[in-house]
Amino acid sequence: MTTLLEVKGLTKTFGAVQAVGGIDFSIHVGRCVALLGPNGAGKTTTIRMIAGLLSQTAGTMRFHGFVKGDYGKGKVHIGYLPQSPSFYNWMSGLEYAVYAGRLCGLPAGTALKRAKELLERVGLSGAAKRRIGSYSGGMKQRLGLAQALVHSPKLLIMDEPVSALDPIGRREVLGLLQELKEETTVLFSTHALHDAEELCDDVIIIRKGQIALQGNIAAIRNEHRKPIIELQLEQDEVSIKWFTDYKDRLSRWSDEAQEASFIQNIEQQGAAVRFTVREVDSARQHLLEVLTREKVKVSRLEIGHTSLEDLFMKVVAP
């Protein structure tokens, strides 16, 4: 795969606070990459440095053949959508998209053509001549996406692109991103792990300014995922007592305990019980035998695997 962006030792400090601490990663041409992490992890700082809006304290970035010192020349190939884009509300959507194209160096005729094409693409052609001040939040986010794409960037960078949207606006923008990732390289930060699983080829998980985990999302999932069995208990005295006794026994596991060979962990949220298991067939058979013998009432039993969210919580936990 061809490398589009290579980051080495990227560091940013604000006084005595180190927001990003010497991170390394690469983004390849044609990939969709999610930057994940809790609040304060350094996601926005990292994105702003890549976009050229914030200078790094240390480290190098190489983009499309340009190295530090000439990195500004590479920025013309980047499209950027901040988490909360600002607009001139007195402008129309078309005027703003043309304005963005001109700022990116497009000739007037080309900027107008691209603006019209993109407003059509993002579903705003019917509102192109309306003032932006009358746009909904979802419309403004789609306009922001149009301005980020107006100069046909090789890398589209977005900071929390759907965090402030209602469910309808979120679904619209995610649909656009699903199409766009087939046409350009995409890097976006998000708190919504489901979005990352749905859209992305690769993930970079950061914690306290350091990379906790990175790589191909399918490979990471296959390497780290574990089978789980989920039970939904009925809210009756027998079932609750069984769970309490069973959990107490599991908390005293030893290597000789029967369950230790195939049940790794147990969690509870109300009447929902979740078993992380090593060997799903043995664990299922054992649990069904115990539930039948103890006459425990179960309304649901499902078998699945741990998710990206489970892995995220594990690697970013304090």
Encode 272-292: b = buried (16+ Cβ within 10 Å), e = exposed.
Answer: ebbbbbeebeebbebbeeebe
Q: Which two tokens stand for residue 151?
A: 């100069």
CATH node for 3-223:
3.40.50.300
Compute the half-sphere exposure of residue 60: CA atoms within 13 Å on the CB side of its CA. 9
44 secondary structure, DSSP code? H
- What is the residue type of 108? A
- The rounded distance, in Å, linking the Cα atoms of 25 and 208 is 16
Q: How many helices (H) and strands (E) does the chain have?
A: 11, 13
- Per DSSP, which regions of 64-119 are E strands? 78-81
**Where do the structural domains in the chain lie, given as residue ranges?**
3-223, 225-316
Q: What share of the chain is helix, strand, coil (3-state, %, to 5)?
A: 40, 30, 30
Query: Is the separation of the CB atoms in 187 and 160 below 8 Å?
Result: no
Superfamily of domain 225-316: YebC, transcriptional regulation domain (3.30.70.980)
Q: What is the pTM of this model?
A: 0.80
Tens-digit pLDDT profile for the chain (318 aa)?
Answer: 788 999 999 999 999 999 999 999 999 999 999 999 888 889 999 999 999 889 999 998 888 766 555 666 677 789 999 988 889 999 999 999 999 999 988 999 999 999 999 999 888 999 999 999 999 888 898 899 999 999 999 999 999 887 767 777 778 878 888 888 888 999 999 877 777 888 889 999 999 999 988 999 888 877 777 888 888 877 766 666 777 776 666 555 444 455 666 777 777 777 788 888 888 888 888 888 877 887 777 888 888 887 777 777 777 766
Provide φ and ψ at 108, rounded to 5°: -55, -45
What is the C-alpha radius of gyration for the chain, rounded to an integer number of angstroms? Answer: 25
Q: Pairing between strand 155-159 and 78-81? A: parallel
Answer left, alpha or beta for residue 65, where phi above 0 means left and psi between -120 and 50 means alpha: left
